[in-house]
Amino acid sequence: MSSLSSDARKRLVALLGPRGYLDKPEDLKLYEYDGSIDKSLPEMVVFPRSTEDVVEIVKISKEFGVPIVGRGAGTGLSGGSIPLQRGIVIAFARMNRILAIDVENERAIVQPGVVNLDITVAVQGRKYFYAPDPSSQRACTIGGNVAENAGGPHTLAYGVTTNHVLGLECVLPDGSVMFTGGEIQDSPGYDLTGLLTGSEGTMALVTKIVVRLMRHMEMVKTALAIYNTVDDAANTVAEITARAITPAAIEMLDGRMMRMVEDATHAGYPLDAAAVLLIELEGLREAVEEQAEQVREVCLNTGAREFRVAKTPEERDLLWKGRKNAFGAVGRVSPTYYVQDGVVPRSEIAGTLRYIEQVGEKYGLRIGNIFHAGDGNMHPIILFDARDPDELERAKEAGEAILSYCIEVGGSITGEHGVGMEKNELMSRLFPAETLAAIQSFKDLFDPDNRLNPGKVLPTGKGCLEIRQAPLVSGSRVY
């Protein structure tokens, strides 16, 4: 466990000035957590304003052997920005400028503290946008998105953050500055930009990002398909894919989640349904019109009781308001919730939802589902009261059970939230030892002293790998 010396503190204060750091206990407590359920208190929080500041902070941390953790807006959901070994948190909130916009070449250069949605706001007047759209896009920052390789509802058509990052400026653990990629479509050599995007701040600290801008489509249609059974909604997703239709987004809400969202946002979701699909189509007018009819036919043929298309931009925005504000809606009915992020093949969505329901029954917990159905990225939301230690433990066990099931059916433990300190002990279930050793070799190459965000991504051997209660079994398969 780190101990920040008085000499190191003095050097950091001299570098950043009296308003460039926090070290009072009441201030540090604001940086001991993110959107997950774990906590660890830093010894100091520093606020660089430039790459040069970051370089000097990193050099001081190296000289005194202190761990450092980069932090964006703290909206992460896997403990990625939690200072597990204390030390210094480098908060990038003041490095928040859009440095350049080049719509002719569909590029922008931004600092890591730029809020995701602010890029789109800056270019939407010229009919451009930044595609990755996490539910927290009004708060989350691009640096954090790069660290976690964030996704969002429109991942199905546009891909995740790595598909929209063209280049990075990074500070390495020895204080040197490295550039990867650039403003052109492709660069020769190894794809270091791809390697660092999603590395969760364990190899380098990102100080500038070159992002791809995209032009708005000619037409957008947003539809709501309403179902009396969860299975019918899940089966619709697989059937849409089988028809070779790729919507911009297919989001699913089950009945429990839908009622929480509707009570909070009044988005027009039916309170008596078992599930809904929020489906968005984009493209040329003729193609969208044709696909909308095909999707309507698929939905009605697979059990939808109703298929609504938003008639105005206001109706469309309201439907998306319900989806984007869903996590806030949960806070109205539960003091705490635990969001998971497993991925399963689309053909396994229905079975996974049945399994999640059984997990809730087994552990005595309410679990709602709202997720990116188009790519099988499940987000079960486990409601619990963190003031009750037994309930907290049951919530963790339920989360482990769900992620283990995702692995079993050919999926993954994360689609967009990252591994962090929440799931790193599960990595040995997902990957063989040889693969983990290869990942470790990259970590050792970039960060031989293990000072950058230690205790994240890779197993430490200190966590509990086993689910502490026997899995639910139906026949010969885990359910």
Boundary-marking domain end, from 215, 235, 260: 215
Q: Strand 128-129 relative to strand 214-215: parallel, antiparallel, unpaired?
A: antiparallel
Same domain membership, residue 351 and residue 426: yes
Same domain membership, residue 201 and residue 267: no
Number of domains in the chain: 4
Same domain membership, residue 202 and residue 128: yes
Boundary-marking domain end, from 91, 119, 153: 91
- The pLDDT, as a whole number, for residue 184 is 73
What is the C-alpha separation between 90 and 81, in angstroms, rounded?
10
Query: Would you write out the chain's pLDDT as a tens digit for each of its 479 residues?
Result: 567 999 999 999 999 999 999 999 999 999 999 999 999 999 999 999 999 999 999 999 999 999 999 999 999 999 999 999 999 999 999 999 999 999 999 999 999 999 999 999 999 999 999 999 999 999 999 999 999 999 999 999 999 999 999 999 999 999 999 999 987 777 788 999 999 999 999 999 999 999 999 999 999 999 999 999 999 999 999 999 889 899 999 999 999 999 999 999 999 999 999 999 999 999 999 999 999 999 999 999 999 999 999 999 999 999 999 998 888 899 889 999 999 999 999 999 999 999 999 999 999 999 999 999 999 999 999 999 989 999 999 999 999 999 999 999 999 999 999 999 999 999 999 999 999 999 999 999 999 999 999 999 999 875 443 322 223 333 322 32
294 by Cβ neighbours in 10 Å (0-12 / 13-18 / 19+) ranks as middle
3-state secondary structure 6-32: HHHHHHHHHHHCCCCEECCHHHHHHHC
Q: Name the phi and psi angles at 280, rounded to 5.
A: -125, 135
Residue 52 belongs to a domain: yes
Task: For residue 381, give the CATH number of its domain.
Answer: 3.30.70.2740
Same domain membership, residue 306 and residue 364: no
Cα dihedral 19, 24, 25, 26 in deg (nearest 10):
-60
Nearest Cα neighbor of 459 from 447, 432, 377 is 432
Residue 469 belongs to a domain: no
Q: Which domain, by its residues, includes 104?
A: 98-215
Question: Phi-psi category of 157—alpha, beta or left, where left has phi over 0 and alpha has psi -120 to 50?
Answer: alpha
CB atoms within 10 A of CB 390: 10
Residue 154 belongs to a domain: yes
- The pLDDT, as a whole number, for residue 473 is 33
- The pLDDT, as a whole number, for residue 28 is 98
Boundary-marking domain end, from 330, 348, 374: 330
- The pLDDT, as a whole number, for residue 462 is 59
Same domain membership, residue 252 and residue 226: yes
Residue 354 belongs to a domain: yes
Asked if 297 contacts 275 with a C-beta cutoff of 8 angstroms, the reply is no
Residue 180 belongs to a domain: yes
- The pLDDT, as a whole number, for residue 271 is 94
3-state secondary structure the chain: CCCCCHHHHHHHHHHHCCCCEECCHHHHHHHCCCCCCCCCCCCEEECCCCHHHHHHHHHHHHHHCCCEEEECCCCCCCCCCCCCCCCEEEECCCCCCEEEEECCCCEEEECCCCEHHHHHHHHHHHCEECCCCCCCCCCCEHHHHHHHCCCCCCHHHHCCHHHHEEEEEEECCCCCEEEEECCCCCCCCCCHHHHHCCCCCCCCEEEEEEEECEECCCEEEEEEEEECCHHHHHHHHHHHHHCCCCCCEEEEEEHHHHHHHHHHHCCCCCCCCCEEEEEEEEECHHHHHHHHHHHHHHHHHCCEEEEEECCCHHHHHHHHHHHHCHHHHHCCCCCEEEECCCECCHHHHHHHHHHHHHHHHHHCCEEEEEEEHHHCECCEEEEECCCCHHHHHHHHHHHHHHHHHHHHCCCECCCCCCCCCCCHHHHHHHCCHHHHHHHHHHHHHHCCCCCECCCCCCCCCCCCCCCCCCCCEECCEEC
Same domain membership, residue 202 and residue 135: yes
Same domain membership, residue 224 and residue 326: yes
Same domain membership, residue 53 and residue 84: yes
Q: Which residue has the tokens 């050919």?
A: 410
Task: For residue 78, give the CATH number of its domain.
Answer: 3.30.43.10
Q: Which residue has the tokens 């920005």?
A: 81
- The pLDDT, as a whole number, for residue 177 is 98
Task: For residue 106, give the CATH number of its domain.
Answer: 3.30.465.10
Same domain membership, residue 353 and residue 262: no
Same domain membership, residue 293 and residue 269: yes
Same domain membership, residue 311 and residue 233: yes
Same domain membership, residue 363 and residue 400: yes
